[in-house]
């Protein structure tokens, strides 16, 4: 069945093995009784800093034990580099970290680790795609942090669908979530994105995890922006800024100066504005160009880094209140550096 007749969702039919009656009855008998929320003990372990300040800022101060974090981004944007550096920094402070790669060999991972300086004996690597083997490795190694790169490459041997399908992604994420929360081990999942910018596979994956982070930026530029779109343990307004260099991603402590480096002070059509990103104000440049539209067709309205509807509202106010004849002009607005304001 391609489309559900009740909710209208596509490819939502998931194949599952039938649970025997005896097993189901035993599960009901062993269910834990409810307790008062006032009697639930507090968390024994606080947040653990990853060692990368910009990543900790977006996470809300560090990673929470037992949490499931999803990091998405376009191919080649630097997701694997970021999580590898985070695993190396985390292993130096909190013990062994396990990096599971489903798309690269051990030799390829060593090449990246050598480039970013992550040859740490406490960083364990394994090339595996079957989720049952990954869970067994987690029990054997007992790492302080687990990284899976990527969730779309894993598969459950009990399902017949191909890796990356809706059922495989959802089931593998559920198994990892139960294992991580049961042992209080944080797990970082790397996910690919589609052409529309959403996590590849089902949107249900974003509902299952505790935190969803997106690594954004132009691959032809140096700067990368880490933005949170969901965080059960902190704010989603924080923004982390990195610069891609030969030795990996480097934190940018003063993003305002970086974004305004190439700006001309007397450049026409340029203005500097202050934008709040979480707890940090950013100074960014706004570039605007207005030119006569061709006599045929409707005038063009193009915006990069600014909401298109916001641009239409500002232009309507200028047309109505400031008496500027913009209805016959092409308008282009750009926010350099990949920032959205």
> Mean pLDDT over all residues of the chain?
87
Q: What pLDDT score does 39 carry?
A: 87
Q: Quote the CA–CA distance of 258 and 215 in Å, as a whole number.
A: 18
pTM of the model: 0.80
Domains of the chain, earliest start first: 44-253 (3.40.50.300), 259-338 (no CATH)
Q: What pLDDT score does 18 carry?
A: 61
pLDDT over 60 (residue 28) = no
Q: Quote the CA–CA distance of 153 and 192 in Å, as a whole number.
A: 10
Q: Percent of the chain at pLDDT above 90?
A: 54
Q: What is the mean pLDDT of residues 287-308?
A: 91
């Amino acid at each position: 069945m391609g489309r559900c007749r009740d909710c209208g969702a596509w490819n939502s039919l998931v194949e599952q093995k039938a649970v025997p009656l005896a097993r189901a009855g035993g599960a009901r008998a062993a269910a834990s009784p409810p307790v008062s929320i006032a009697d639930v003990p507090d968390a024994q372990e606080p947040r653990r800093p990853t060692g990368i300040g910009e990543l900790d800022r977006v996470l809300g101060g560090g990673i929470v034990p037992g949490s499931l974090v999803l990091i998405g981004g376009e191919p080649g944007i630097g997701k694997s580099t970021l999580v590898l550096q985070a695993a190396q920094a985390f292993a130096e402070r909190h013990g062994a970290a396990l990096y599971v790669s489903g798309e690269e060999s051990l030799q390829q991972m060593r090449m990246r680790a050598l480039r970013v300086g992550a040859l740490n004996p406490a960083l364990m690597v394994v090339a595996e795609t079957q989720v049952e083997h990954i869970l067994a490795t987690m029990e054997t190694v007992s790492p302080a942090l687990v990284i899976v790169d990527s969730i779309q490459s894993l598969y459950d041997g009990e399902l017949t669908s191909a890796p990356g399908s809706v059922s495989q992604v959802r089931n593998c994420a559920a198994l990892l979530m139960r294992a991580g929360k049961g042992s209080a081990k944080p797990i970082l999942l790397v996910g690919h994105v589609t052409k529309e910018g959403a996590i590849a596979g089902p949107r249900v994956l974003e509902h299952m995890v505790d935190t969803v982070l997106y690594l954004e930026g132009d691959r032809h530029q140096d700067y990368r922006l880490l933005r949170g779109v969901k965080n059960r343990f902190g704010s989603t307004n924080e923004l982390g800024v990195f610069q891609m260099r030969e030795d990996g991603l480097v934190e940018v402590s003063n993003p305002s100066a970086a974004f305004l480096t190439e700006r001309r002070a007397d450049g026409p059509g340029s203005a500097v504005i202050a934008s709040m990103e979480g707890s940090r104000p950013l100074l960014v440049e706004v570039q605007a160009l207005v030119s006569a539209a061709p006599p045929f067709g409707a005038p063009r309205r193009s915006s990069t880094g600014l909401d298109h509807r916001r641009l239409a509202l500002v232009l309507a106010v200028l047309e109505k209140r400031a008496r500027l004849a913009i209805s016959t002009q092409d308008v282009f607005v750009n926010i350099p550096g990949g920032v959205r304001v």
